[in-house]
Amino acid sequence: MRLFRYLPFFTALALVAGAETDMMKSNPPAKDALECKLGEKSACGLPSNVVIDMSKAKVQRTDAEWMKLLNARQFQVARKQGTEPPFQNEYWDNHEDGVYFSVCSDTPLFDSRDKFESGTGWPSFTKPIEKAFVGETTDVSYGMERTEVHCNVDGAHLGHVFPDGPAPTGLRYCINSASLKFMPRKAYEAWVAKNQAGAKK
């Protein structure tokens, strides 16, 4: 008899679970370009083939050319693997909605939706917007072994990734503001539309 008392609860629970499953089917989580089928829209909004093509492009300049394009701090951090001071950089406390690009090229790297307050004084993200755009190397400087992250397109040093971040990835991409330039969401949507149109030509 007690079981019948809880039947309405279990029925409601099943309906909610079914509704959530339907929502997941109609709105599946955005996939990284490396996980997409050819031409399928990836997490950054561009077709996967466009993302893969962009990731293979290599922006190369001499130090003299970079120095003309970047300010002193940007050059030291992005091109010479430097580190900016915590809490004294442009984006550590930025709460605007948008996307962070590499300061050295037109490459989107991190979405503000994946940014979180790490308390470190540097912008921190749970993941890159596209895995194809962010590479990793082992960094043994300063007597430590860390995982350095860089932009695959232009080689810019971004920062490091640590295994102490929040869910869902458990990662903390600790990134220098000097290696980034911020684009508000509406401007980013226009950028995506422009690049989608270019891909169709």
Q: Residue 87's closest CA among 126, 119, 125?
A: 119
Q: Residue 29's closest CA among 137, 124, 111?
A: 111
Catalytic residue among 36, 104, 151, 174: 174
* Residue 160, domain extent: 33-200
In angstroms, what CA-CA distances link 76 with 66, 84, 171? 10, 9, 26
- Answer yes or no: are the C-beta atoms of 133 and 53 closer than 8 Å: no
CA–CA separation, 71 vs 154, rounded Å? 17
Per-residue pLDDT of the chain (201 residues; tens, 9 = 90+): 444 444 443 444 344 344 434 433 444 556 777 777 777 888 888 888 888 888 888 999 999 999 999 999 999 999 999 999 999 999 999 999 999 999 999 999 999 999 999 999 999 999 999 999 999 999 887 788 899 999 999 999 999 999 999 999 999 999 999 999 999 999 999 999 998 876 665
Strands (E), the chain: 98-102, 108-111, 115-116, 124-125, 134-139, 146-151, 157-162, 172-175, 180-184
pLDDT at 24: 38
How many structural domains compose the chain? 1
Does a structural domain hold residue 8? Answer: no
Is the sign of the CA dihedral 49, 59, 144, 87 positive or negative?
negative
Query: 146: domain CATH number?
Result: 2.170.150.20
Does a structural domain hold residue 102? Answer: yes
- Answer yes or no: are the C-beta atoms of 173 and 110 closer than 8 Å: yes
pTM, whole model, 2 decimals? 0.82
Does a structural domain hold residue 128? Answer: yes
Does a structural domain hold residue 135? Answer: yes
Does a structural domain hold residue 20? Answer: no
Q: Give the relative orientation of helices 48-56 and 185-200 as an angle to the nearest 10 degrees.
A: 90
Does a structural domain hold residue 134? Answer: yes
CA–CA separation, 174 vs 85, rounded Å? 12
Q: Is 36 a catalytic residue?
A: no
Does a structural domain hold residue 12? Answer: no
The three-class DSSP label of residue 115 is strand
Does a structural domain hold residue 98? Answer: yes
- Phi, psi (5° rounding) for residue 26? -80, -30
pLDDT at 29: 58
